[in-house]
Amino acid sequence: QHNDPNAYITGGGVRSDNKGLTDYWPERWMSPSALQQYSDLFSLGSMYDMMVEITVASRWKEGLLTYLYDEEFFGPLDLPAQIPRYQLDTSVVLGPNDPVTVTGIYLPDVEYACAQFFHPFSYLPHVAPQGKARSDYISPEGKRDYHWEQIENVPATWTLIRRVENEFIPVPPQGFFLTDHPDGLYRWPEREPNFVEHGQRPARPDNA
């Protein structure tokens, strides 16, 4: 049913079906080509299900959708030519134990924590998964690993992120985050004008 928040409770629900699918894997009766297609679709469905589950449960870790984005894990980013512009709506603020009256994406007042999706059935309190300690691993090629090794859920105050109607930001060919260094995210306030200044005029999305 349209606008029924009960639908969010089913997010990630197909994961419980995976055991049955794997217990009765059809390699004994499917052709090799059909089995390969089945396996590919199973992997794709599992990936989508995982992302839905993380989103509905408000459990994204800082960096996973920006400087730590992994196409092998989450699939190709495949950004469009332009994206909607968003801004904070300070008229809608959630405390740690406030019920959600406006479904949407909220930004916490906690550093090293990212925006999360909240809906009327979100668990209380509204905690932010905050990065506490990073990996100090350096690859043989000299590449530093910036993944979080220690995450702590901390109570936070959340502000709604609202879409600005009829405003879009052009997406640069190389994307917004050129490297897997967190500096690109933490310097976003000073970098943002470089992307927004040419995208403030109303525009029509490519698929409009």
pLDDT (tens digit per residue) in 65-86: 999 988 888 888 888 999 999 9
pLDDT for the residue numbered 91: 97
Distance of CA 105 to the CA centre of its chain: 10
pLDDT for the residue numbered 199: 46
- Separation CA 184–CA 181 (nearest Å): 6
> Is pLDDT above 70 for 30?
yes
pLDDT for the residue numbered 200: 47
41-45, 84-88, 180-184, 204-208: least confidently modelled range: 204-208
- Separation CA 138–CA 147 (nearest Å): 11
Instruction: Give the confidence band of 191 by pLDDT, cuts at 50, 70, 90.
Output: confident
pLDDT for the residue numbered 111: 95
pLDDT for the residue numbered 13: 55
Cβ atoms of 114 and 62 closer than 8 Å: yes
Q: For the whole model, what pTM was predicted? A: 0.82
